[in-house]
Amino acid sequence: MAVIEARGLGKSYKGKVAVNGLSFDVRPGTVTGFLGPNGSGKSTTMRLMLGLDRGHGTCTFDGRPFIEYRNPMREVGALLEAKPFHPTRTARNHLRMLATANDIPEGRVDEVLAIVGLSDVAGKAPSTFSLGMGQRLGLAAALLGNPHTLILDEPANGLDPQGIRWMRDLLKALASEGRSVFVSSHLLSEMALMADELVVIGRGRMIANGPVSDFTSRAAGNHVVVRTPQAHDLAALIGQRLAGVGSVQATEPGVVQVTGLDASAIGDLAFENQIRLHELSTHTASLEEAFLQITGGSEEYQAQRPPTGFQPPAPQQQPGYGQQPGYGQQPGYGQPPAGYGQPGYQQPPGGWAPPPTQQAPHQPQQPGTNQQFGGQA
């Protein structure tokens, strides 16, 4: 099965650097999420990987560039932002044409239409499709050659919640069969459930590359909560153990919040000193929090603050969303540590030691009702 190796990818538009020396691997059997603020260079990178844009660097799929494959759709399935659908040709005929050009058996067309849930509208022209249906047809085209590698730019764009969950389950299933899946998305909660690895860029440069769990565990705000009737004694012991690295603070009577020491170390310390614990829990940043911290300041397009007197709508936010104390750019974030983002990167220095992580559990797909475009997993 294929590994994607991108090396030194770069591209400038009229002297402005859009992608700057990106190198990363995408391993078989994984979903690798590609994250970055608007305009950070994700789509340009994907086009460079496929040789659709002229630029610097190389990208190989199992050791060969995409354009060197005789039947590239059998090797790499791509869904990019621009969808080249013929205005009058039906969805089925569009796929038939691609199948013929790539030496793919025609029977595969109806298979992929069923996989993406478009069998009922296969005789209609894509110009009549909604955004989400167009995305499904683009995905059908990407899957047509049963490729071992998928490069998907915002595939969930326009999908309804059932469609998003279906897409997540499909991509995870494809990866579990040994495929390499490289997917960009702004849906960070989806990415948290779907991706094994991340490539995070800002202004065309690598910011982070590695397992999702490493990424979230390094975020500022990760801490351990300890509830104990001997909070004062425990806080003093933790303070001594921390020796100035990390923090311990009482957030309410009988509760201390600790950074710089993980739950097992705190549990051991309490046990050794006969301190009773009523709660010992690790709180890890969400992918969204970690992403906003690490990309803070690298947005190409930053919205202005609302004018004075603006009343925000009543909060319907997720915990940790919006402007929270300690939110935004933290010391050590925003600027990628030296050498960070290179393949096989080493632990960056200072304040990045990962405590154990808590990832949201994967939710198995429930049988949906009223799904017009349900798709097969």
Ligand X SMILES: Nc1ncnc2c1ncn2[C@@H]1O[C@H](COP(=O)(O)OP(=O)(O)OP(=O)(O)O)[C@@H](O)[C@H]1O
Would you tell me which residues interact with ligand X (CB under 6 A)? 13, 18, 36, 38-44, 300
Residues in the chain: 377
| Backbone φ, ψ for residue 61 (5° rounding) | -120, 110
Distances (CA, A) of 194 to 160, 168, 169: 17, 6, 8
Minimum CB distance to ligand X smaller for 33 or for 355? 33
CB of 19 to ligand X, least distance (A): 7
Minimum CB distance to ligand X smaller for 36 or for 155? 36
Minimum CB distance to ligand X smaller for 201 or for 266? 201
Minimum CB distance to ligand X smaller for 200 or for 270? 200
DSSP 29: T
Minimum CB distance to ligand X smaller for 44 or for 119? 44
CB of 199 to ligand X, least distance (A): 12
- Could you tell me which of 48, 357, 321, 45 has the C-alpha nearest to residue 200? 45
Dig out the tokens for 14 from the structure. 């009229």
CB of 14 to ligand X, least distance (A): 7
CA distance 254 to 239: 16
Cβ contacts of 62 within 8 Å, gap of 6 or more: 2, 3, 75, 148
CB of 13 to ligand X, least distance (A): 3
CA distance 301 to 7: 27
Asked whether the beta carbons of 156 and 171 are under 8 A apart, the reply is no
CB of 189 to ligand X, least distance (A): 17
